[in-house]
A and B are shown apart, each in its own frame.
Chain A
Amino acid sequence: MNMAAIPYWLLQILLIPALSPLFIGVTRRIKARFQNRRGASVFQPYRDFWKLFHKDEIISEDASWIFRVAPYLIFAVTLVIGASIPLVSTGLSNTLTGDLLVVVYLIALGTFFLALAGIDTGSAFGGFGSSREMMVAALTEGGLVLSLLTLALISKSANLTAISANIGSLSFPSFTPIILAFISFSIALLAETCRYPFDNPSTHLELTMIHEAMILEYSGKRLALMEWASANKYLIFIALGANLFFPRGIADSLELIPVILALAVFAGKASLFCIAIAVLESSIAKLRIFRLPDLLFTSFVISVIAIGLVN
């Protein structure tokens, strides 16, 4: 790794945590517009995190070291994933941790500790939040792995950056499995980032919470880390969707101008994803929890068909 690449690597690692609150803000603002409101500024999540870092914390007496350590670990895992996925340039190829299975299982590591932190305080909400989260996470993995596998089989490599590079150079007729895999991936995206129809990210009713229920007991800096990690996960999934399935626009070298252009293109693609997700969230209702497995198995079956269509 040459010295010239270091500033680009810094950009790669810091890009996700720096931009993720912005895209959460964009999604919320568009949802507010659909509700005929103006909505908070798109930079509001930054202000929220800043304020939370400046507040004191109250930790439950029943909580153990897992509750205290979990936010750091979960945030660190999102940083490691952020360094492994293609964001702005395929020249920043990470063959050490850039395998698709590594990314999927790192996400599972974050979910594991999030669920444990939910149980740790002994409140009723955290417990059932963890139960539902593990149910959704367990069933989502099948569709997620298989949809990414479709892309890997098409591009003959399981490394995410290599997938991005190869799919960018494909001809149009071979796009059918990619489109099917994308449908399957978007269902997995909605499930893992706690969006409709799986979960409502802004609900106050504990009975309907999945992700929120597990962080009800957090306050201060740990709450900020948890919310930020969740925003990171959202942007990571959007980045995977944008850069793996529609990779045109990614720079393939490490020079300044192409990278800046690629950054702008990435921001544009991510905004399109945010708009689409916000439109979807404003149009449909949350599904009853025992309908969710049907949706997740549909995602699984669509990926199986997509793999079958790969030549």
Chain B
Amino acid sequence: MLAVFAAGALGALLLRKHDAAANIWGNCMAIIGSGAGLLISGAALFHGTVPAFSVDSSLPLLAFSIRIDQLSAFFMLVISLVAFFCSIYALDYVRHYYGKYSIGMLGFFYNAFIASMIIVVTAQNALFFLVAWEVMALASYFLVIYERRETASIRAGSLYFIMTHAGTAFIMIAFLLMYRATGSFEFADFRDGMAAASPLVKNAIFISALIGFGVKAGVIPLHVWLPSAHPAAPSHVSALMSGVMIKTGIYMMVRIYLDILPGSYLWWGLALMIAGSISSLLGVLYALSEHDLKKLLAYHSIENVGIILLGLGSALVFSSFGMTSLAALGLAAALFHTMNHATFKALLFLGAGSVIAATHTRNIEKYGGLIRLMPQTAFFFLIGSMAISALPPLNGFFSEWLTFQALFQGVAGFDVVTKVIFILSIGSLALTGGLAAACFVKAFGITFLARPRSEQAERARETGMLPRVAMAALSLLIAGLGLFSGLVLRTLAKVTGSMANLRGVESADVAQFKSVSLQNGFGEVSMPALFIGIIVASAVVAAAVAVLTRKRRTETGPTWDCGSDLTPRMEITATGFSRSLITISRGVLRPSSDTEIEYHDASRYFPRTGTVTMGLHDIYQTFIYKPLHDLTTMLAAQVTKVQSGNINVYILYIFLTLIGLLFFMDLQS
């Protein structure tokens, strides 16, 4: 399978002179590779086979060791699934880049990106993992700056590069701590040896892993690279980055906290839950204020990562109290939401890509009326919007239900602080669900409904067949995951059961096709019943009304507008739609509004033009990153004093160092 990707990457590079050939070769290889990945991971999940493959070598960095256990298989399945459909989409989408940028390079980095992600989730050796992690970061960096003539892309890429390497530094600290405790770099040895580590070491590992993988996952306040980097990449790559690359961070968090480190502390879970609540709330609030369609979707990824962290945090809290079956429930909720988010975020990004390619602008304010010009894209985007707003009967609803149930179980019977944090998490999850629905009413409504607001929107055309096939397949997958939630949950139970801390534990839920309920009888939901109920009720109502009103006519006429001419400027704008919510949360968002008026030369009483610029202050830059930046610059300025430029001083330094070394060696022996 990896050979296929390698062939795809190199072939695309070799073919870079011919755009179309490179495009087809690169994407077809990616499709075949993803298909193979699907088959392998499917076999691992459902048949319980654990393929392992390792090549030892004398150089520790090249110890190639892969093992596909249940958790890895699950993530590999998610990655392959999304990559499969994104590649199908890309076959048609990449045509927009013919003649402008190098398609061969795109194919090369794309295949490398997918291959590295698969290795990241299956690696079993810490150094090999870091190599794959770095390859993934580099490949995605080059994909982010793919449109290299846009300065925004270059800046986004630089920010991404710096942040991801800062994260990698923390990950390396975590791995080095584990190496010190156990003496080897293999994950299997970590698992056995960490029991003996001191609590201080475990806490340090927790914090550094949280920061390191949090940068990749997009936890607030480490998320600053996400809203610039994801929109800058080509849309199918954005779908992959937002859908699955973020999840590799989650994967390692799950691996380290529940698999490698035995037992967890209470404050770990609470910290994760607090981080999750803040991420989800702030993510969706920032998404509400965005007009760039892809940036809006990127902020929603931050929000959904917050929801996943809520599930994961509750799992850690339960496992610290020894309630392992509830911990399995929390973990299942987090993993299910991971998969769901990958599917609907990919669908939304692919839809956004089609819209942007058709209208050549990313600004929502210029869209409108696209539902008539791009009907199928609109329908698939609607399915994606309904799924991300957690509306029944789609899959997003079920994973939020499951997360809620995990949190509900935590409210009863803990000490006060834990209880309060659980209650506040439930509140923030409910609030997030409502705000996400508001944001997607805005995104879908202003993009597709009413009349076109600009000439670009009027001239849009529907995309080709392949992108629509890819989006249709993803929509079917979303509906299927919703309908068959019970069965999927049963498979997830196998995954959660394979974690070292939760081995052999039965999850606290009873999952069948017909319904999913908790073992203590607290909650129960039946997704098939919801599906059937809504569809049957709508059909019955439609039939009854049709019979009742069979003699009535229906005509069309202009929209009622109190007798004046309707222009597109009278429709609701994205700014207006969300301004009330932004004003309500102005304490957190700090909106700004600047007015500039240009007057006629004759007199200051006659304005010629007026411009109002509304924006948001970036509080992370002001309070976190700028102080860090200033501190670093100040320290560097102090160190500059060592460089005096005088060669005699430098020889003195060498001399002092030699003497110091001699003393040191003397003390040693």
Which residues from chain A sit less than 8 Å from chain B, CB to CB? 53-66, 72-73, 75-77, 79-80, 83, 95-97, 99, 101-102, 105-106, 108-109, 111-112, 115-116, 119-124, 126-128, 130-132, 134-135, 137-142, 144-146, 149, 152-153, 156-159, 216-217, 220-221, 225, 289-290, 293, 300, 304, 307-308, 310
The reply on B602 being an interface residue by CB < 8 A is no
20 chain-A/chain-B pairs, Cβ below 8 angstroms: A56-B554, A59-B555, A59-B557, A61-B559, A64-B378, A79-B541, A95-B517, A108-B434, A108-B437, A109-B386, A120-B449, A123-B566, A124-B571, A134-B437, A137-B434, A140-B434, A142-B431, A157-B523, A304-B427, A310-B412
Chain B residues, CB < 8 A from A53: 545, 548-549, 552
Q: Which residue of A62, A111, A157, A308 is within 8 Å of B419 (Cβ)? A: A308
Cα of A79 to Cα of B570 in the assembled complex, Å: 35
- Residue pair B523, A290 in contact (C-beta under 8 Å): no
- Residue pair B542, A72 in contact (C-beta under 8 Å): yes
The reply on B401 being an interface residue by CB < 8 A is yes
The reply on B608 being an interface residue by CB < 8 A is no
- Residue pair B522, A158 in contact (C-beta under 8 Å): yes
Chain B residues, CB < 8 A from A123: 559-561, 566, 570-571
- Residue pair A307, B423 in contact (C-beta under 8 Å): yes
A141 with B570, Cβ < 8 A, contacts A60-B559, A99-B524, A116-B441 known: no
User: Which 6 A/B pairs are nearest by Cβ-Cβ distance?
Assistant: A127-B572, A122-B450, A138-B434, A76-B537, A134-B438, A119-B445
Chain B residues, CB < 8 A from A134: 437-438, 441-442, 577, 581
- Residue pair B554, A293 in contact (C-beta under 8 Å): no
* B434 shortest CB reach to chain A, Å: 3
- Residue pair A97, B559 in contact (C-beta under 8 Å): no
- Residue pair B545, A130 in contact (C-beta under 8 Å): no
Q: Which residue of A57, A126, A146, A308 is within 8 Å of B426 (Cβ)? A: A146
- Residue pair A130, B451 in contact (C-beta under 8 Å): no
Cα of A66 to Cα of B520 in the assembled complex, Å: 41
Chain B residues, CB < 8 A from A300: 427
Which residues from chain B sit less than 8 Å from chain A, CB to CB? 368-369, 371-372, 378, 382, 386, 389-392, 397, 401, 404-405, 408, 411-412, 419-420, 423-424, 426-427, 430-431, 433-435, 437-438, 441-442, 444-446, 448-451, 514-515, 517, 520-526, 529-530, 533-534, 537-538, 540-542, 545, 548-549, 552-561, 566, 568, 570-572, 576-578, 580-581, 583-584
Nearest A residue to B391 by beta-carbon distance? A109
A119 with B537, Cβ < 8 A, contacts A101-B401, A101-B404, A138-B434 known: no
Cα of A128 to Cα of B430 in the assembled complex, Å: 24
Q: Which residue of A75, A102, A135 is within 8 Å of B525 (Cβ)? A: A102
Nearest B residue to A303 by beta-carbon distance? B427
* B89 shortest CB reach to chain A, Å: 24
Chain A residues, CB < 8 A from B566: 122-123
Chain B residues, CB < 8 A from A120: 445, 449-450
* A48 shortest CB reach to chain B, Å: 15
Cα of A290 to Cα of B392 in the assembled complex, Å: 30
Q: Which residue of A83, A128, A307 is within 8 Å of B572 (Cβ)? A: A128
- Residue pair A138, B437 in contact (C-beta under 8 Å): yes
- Residue pair A135, B580 in contact (C-beta under 8 Å): yes
Cα of A50 to Cα of B534 in the assembled complex, Å: 25
Nearest B residue to A50 by beta-carbon distance? B548
Q: Which residue of A135, A146, A221 is within 8 Å of B430 (Cβ)? A: A146
- Residue pair A128, B553 in contact (C-beta under 8 Å): no
Chain B residues, CB < 8 A from A124: 561, 570-572
- Residue pair B571, A61 in contact (C-beta under 8 Å): no
